[in-house]
Amino acid sequence: MTDRTFVNPRQPQTLYISQILLYITAVGAVLFRSVGEGWVEALPLRYLVVFLMTVGAGAGAYGIANARRWGYLLGIAAAIAPFIIRLEIIRRLDIVEMLRWNPIGLLFDVAIIAALLHPESRAYQKQWFE
């Protein structure tokens, strides 16, 4: 019988924090529609994008907690996706307009990416994740 967990505090601090931040992102998106508050309206298929980002964040966190490489990669993709969308908005509009839309969310996304791509996280997942 395998032992599955939603949060794994035995992993390095950077991975543990990234799990929590990814779960907060997913839950916040479901409860408060906080993923893509204003900037996602400029995208075609915006509801699909928000849904995929939400599911990706939750599934990525679960995969990281259970030491799965796919979870780590999915967590990185879910954390980088808002940056790609913001770059598209900058291309279409301008930087001042983009910054009006959720600058706190931008900082939150940076924290998730920094925790996931930290050298300690990368080394741990390379050695221990399946």
Would you say residue 68 lies in a domain? yes
Tens of pLDDT, residues 89-116: 777 776 666 666 667 777 888 899 999 9
Report how far Cα 127 is from the mean position of its chain's Cα atoms.
22
With H, G, I as helix, E, B as strand and everything else as coil, classify residue 46: helix
Q: Has residue 73 got a pLDDT over 90?
A: yes
Instruction: Report DSSP letters for 72-111, one per residue.
Output: HHHHHHHHHHHHHHHHHHHHHS-HHHHHHS-HHHHHHHHH
Q: 17 is written with which tokens? A: 């924090």
Rounded to an integer, what distance in angstroms lies between the CA atom of residue 92 and that of residue 111? 26
Model pLDDT, residue 11: 94
Model pLDDT, residue 50: 77
Would you say residue 7 lies in a domain? no
- What dihedral do alpha carbons 80, 54, 115, 113 form, nearest 10°? 10
Q: 120 is written with which tokens? A: 């300690």
Please give the residue range of the domain that contains residue 121: 13-128
Would you say residue 4 lies in a domain? no
Would you say residue 118 lies in a domain? yes
Total domains, the chain: 1
Rounded to an integer, what distance in angstroms lies between the CA atom of residue 84 and that of residue 101? 15
Residue written as token pair 């996602």:
40
Would you say residue 3 lies in a domain? no
- pTM for the complete prediction? 0.83
